[in-house]
Chains A and B, each alone.
Chain A
Amino acid sequence: MMNKEMYDLAARSIKTAKSAGAENCRVAISGERFVNISYRDHKPENIKEASTKGLFIDIYADGCYSSQNTSDLRKDALKNFVKNAVATTKLLAKDPFRTLPDPKYYEGRVDLDLELLDPSHNELTPEDRHNLVKAIEDTCLAKGGEKVISVTAEERDSYRESVVLTSNGFEGARESTFYVAGASMTIQDEGDRRPNSYNYLASVKRKGLPDPERIGAMAAERTLDLLGGKKIKTETLPIIIENRNVPRILGGFLSAMNGYNIQQKRSFLADKKGEKIGSDFFTVIDNPFIKSGLGSGLYDGDGFAAKKRTMIEAGVLKEFYVDWYYSRKLGWEPTTGGTSNLIIPPGKRSVREIMKDLGRGVFITGFIGGNSNSTTGDSSIGIIGKLFENGEPVQTVVEMNIADNHIKFWHKLAEVANDPWIYSSFRTPSLVFTDIVVSGL
Chain B
Amino acid sequence: MKKLTRRSFIKTTTKASIAAAIIPALPWGCTNHTGADKSGYFESGFGINDNLCQKVLARALYRGGDFADLYFEHTIRNWLILEDGHVNQAYSTVALGVGIRTVKGDQVGYGFSQELTESAMLAAASTAATIADSTPKDPASQFVKQKLENYYPLETLLTSIPLESKLPLVQSANDKCFALSPLIIKVNAQFHDEQKRILVVTSDGTKAEDLLPKNYLYASVVAEKDGKRERAGWNLGGRWDFSFYTPAVVDEIANTAVDRVNLLFDAVQPPAGEMPIVLGPGVTGILLHEAIGHGMEADFNRKGISTFCTMIGKKVAEPFVTIIDDGTNRNLPGSINVDDEGTPGQKTVLVDNGILSSYMHDKISARYYKLEPTGNGRRESYEHYIQPRMRNTYMLPGQAKPEDVIKNVKKGIYIQSVSNGQVKIGEGDFAFYVSQGRMIEDGKLTAPIKDVNIMGNGPKMLRNITLLADDFEMSRGGGGACGKGGQAVPVGFGQPTCLVKSMTVGGLKN
B24 contacts the other chain (CB 8 A): yes
What residues on A are CB-neighbors of B453 within 8 Å?
A: 369-371, 380-382, 401, 403
What residues on B are CB-neighbors of A260 within 8 Å?
A: 3
A211 contacts the other chain (CB 8 A): no
Q: How far, in Å, is A396 (CB) from chain B's closest CB?
A: 10
* Bound Cα distance from A371 to B22, whole angstroms: 32
Q: Is A92 within 8 A of B90, CB to CB?
A: yes
What residues on A are CB-neighbors of B424 within 8 Å?
A: 195-196, 368, 384
What residues on A are CB-neighbors of B429 within 8 Å?
A: 229, 368, 382, 384, 398-399
Given A373-B451, A403-B453, the answer on whether A45 and B92 have CB atoms closer than 8 Å is: no
Q: Is B427 within 8 A of A437, CB to CB?
A: no
Interface bits B74-100 vs A (CB < 8 Å: 1, else 0):
000000100110111111111111000
* Bound Cα distance from A234 to B131, whole angstroms: 51
B257 contacts the other chain (CB 8 A): no
Q: Of residues 412 to 449 in B, which have CB atoms within 8 Å of A's CB atoms?
A: 419-433, 435
* Bound Cα distance from A235 to B510, whole angstroms: 7
Which of A5-13, A77-85, A115-123 lies at the interface with chain B?
Answer: A77-85
Closest partner residue, chain B, to A381 (CB atom): B453
A245 contacts the other chain (CB 8 A): no
Given A71-B114, A234-B273, the answer on whether A375 and B222 have CB atoms closer than 8 Å is: yes
Interface bits B157-175 vs A (CB < 8 Å: 1, else 0):
0000001100100000000
What residues on A are CB-neighbors of B459 within 8 Å?
A: 192
A89 contacts the other chain (CB 8 A): yes
* Bound Cα distance from A379 to B450, whole angstroms: 10
What residues on A are CB-neighbors of B507 within 8 Å?
A: 403, 437, 439
B408 contacts the other chain (CB 8 A): no
B33 contacts the other chain (CB 8 A): no
Given A50-B127, A94-B88, A376-B451, the answer on whether A265 and B185 have CB atoms closer than 8 Å is: yes
Interface bits B1-36 vs A (CB < 8 Å: 1, else 0):
011011111100000000010111000110000000
Q: How far, in Å, is A253 (CB) from chain B's closest CB?
A: 13
Given A369-B431, A382-B506, the answer on whether A89 and B90 have CB atoms closer than 8 Å is: yes
Given A68-B93, A93-B88, the answer on whether A401 and B455 have CB atoms closer than 8 Å is: yes
Which of B105-113, B136-144, B336-344, B466-474 lies at the interface with chain A?
Answer: B105-113
What residues on B are CB-neighbors of A399 within 8 Å?
A: 429, 455-457, 504
* Bound Cα distance from A76 to B29, whole angstroms: 7
Which of B197-205, B234-242, B301-309 lies at the interface with chain A?
Answer: B301-309
Q: Of residues 478 to 498 in B, which have CB atoms within 8 Å of A's CB atoms?
A: none
A-B pair count, CB < 8 Å, reads 306
Q: Is B111 within 8 A of A371, CB to CB?
A: no
Q: Report the interface size class on chain A.
A: 35 or more
Q: Is B272 within 8 A of A234, CB to CB?
A: yes
Q: Is B106 within 8 A of A45, CB to CB?
A: yes
* Bound Cα distance from A219 to B378, whole angstroms: 29
Q: Is A375 within 8 A of B231, CB to CB?
A: yes
* Bound Cα distance from A255 to B8, whole angstroms: 14
B383 contacts the other chain (CB 8 A): yes
Q: Which one of A64, A65, A91 has the greatest number of beta carbons of chain B within 10 Å?
A: A91
Q: Is B419 within 8 A of A150, CB to CB?
A: no
What residues on A are CB-neighbors of B311 within 8 Å?
A: 192
Residue from the list A44, A50, A265, A301 in contact with B107, Cβ < 8 A: A44
Q: Is A186 within 8 A of B304, CB to CB?
A: yes
Given A50-B111, A77-B29, A186-B304, the answer on whether A403 and B272 have CB atoms closer than 8 Å is: yes
What residues on B are CB-neighbors of A368 within 8 Å?
A: 422-424, 429-431, 455
Q: Which one of B89, B164, B459 has the greatest number of beta carbons of chain A within 10 Å?
A: B89
Given A88-B22, A196-B424, A380-B452, the answer on whether A401 and B111 have CB atoms closer than 8 Å is: no
Q: Is B131 within 8 A of A376, CB to CB?
A: no
B251 contacts the other chain (CB 8 A): no
* Bound Cα distance from A196 to B423, whole angstroms: 11
Q: Is A47 within 8 A of B5, CB to CB?
A: no
Q: Is B230 within 8 A of A72, CB to CB?
A: no
What residues on B are CB-neighbors of A65 within 8 Å?
A: 88-90
Q: Is A376 within 8 A of B229, CB to CB?
A: yes
A280 contacts the other chain (CB 8 A): no
Residue from the list B163, B432, B451 in contact with A378, Cβ < 8 A: B451
Given A45-B106, A98-B88, A368-B424, the answer on whether A323 and B304 have CB atoms closer than 8 Å is: no
Residue from the list B84, B97, B110, B427 in contact with A195, Cβ < 8 A: B427
* Bound Cα distance from A373 to B96, whole angstroms: 37
What residues on A are CB-neighbors of B95 within 8 Å?
A: 71
Q: How far, in Å, is B381 (CB) from chain A's closest CB?
A: 10
What residues on B are CB-neighbors of A401 within 8 Å?
A: 272, 431, 453, 455, 504-506
Residue from the list B5, B23, B230, B274 in contact with A84, Cβ < 8 A: B23
Q: Is A437 within 8 A of B90, CB to CB?
A: no
Residue from the list A47, A58, A67 in contact with B109, Cβ < 8 A: A47
Residue from the list A98, A194, A236, A384 in contact with B305, Cβ < 8 A: A194
Given A48-B110, A50-B112, A255-B2, the answer on whether A437 and B431 have CB atoms closer than 8 Å is: no
What residues on B are CB-neighbors of A84 within 8 Å?
A: 23-24, 28
What residues on A are CB-neighbors of B8 within 8 Å?
A: 338
B385 contacts the other chain (CB 8 A): yes
A49 contacts the other chain (CB 8 A): yes
A56 contacts the other chain (CB 8 A): yes
Q: How far, in Å, is B201 (CB) from chain A's closest CB?
A: 19
B318 contacts the other chain (CB 8 A): no
Given A68-B92, A369-B433, the answer on whether A196 and B7 have CB atoms closer than 8 Å is: no
* Bound Cα distance from A362 to B176, whole angstroms: 48
A290 contacts the other chain (CB 8 A): no
B150 contacts the other chain (CB 8 A): no
Closest partner residue, chain B, to A236 (CB atom): B510
B323 contacts the other chain (CB 8 A): no
Q: Which one of A58, A323, A379, A439 has the greatest number of beta carbons of chain B within 10 Å?
A: A439
Q: Is A194 within 8 A of B127, CB to CB?
A: no
Q: How far, in Å, is A71 (CB) from chain B's closest CB?
A: 5
Q: How far, in Å, is B83 (CB) from chain A's closest CB?
A: 7
Q: Is B504 within 8 A of A231, CB to CB?
A: yes
B246 contacts the other chain (CB 8 A): no
B186 contacts the other chain (CB 8 A): yes
* Bound Cα distance from A89 to B304, whole angstroms: 52
Q: Of residues 251 to 285 in A, which have CB atoms within 8 Å of B's CB atoms?
A: 255, 258, 260-261, 264-266
B358 contacts the other chain (CB 8 A): no
* Bound Cα distance from A371 to B19, whole angstroms: 22
* Bound Cα distance from A323 to B95, whole angstroms: 28
Q: Is B163 within 8 A of A88, CB to CB?
A: yes
Q: Is B93 within 8 A of A70, CB to CB?
A: yes
Q: List 18 A-B contacts (CB under 8 A).
A: A46-B108, A46-B131, A48-B109, A49-B110, A49-B111, A50-B111, A68-B23, A84-B28, A88-B24, A88-B90, A89-B90, A189-B427, A192-B310, A226-B427, A266-B231, A369-B431, A370-B420, A380-B506
**CB-CB nearest 3 A-B residue pairs:** A401-B506, A369-B431, A260-B3
Q: A67-B9, A403-B506, A403-B507 are in contact. List 4 more A-B contacts (CB 8 A).
A: A46-B109, A375-B229, A399-B455, A439-B273
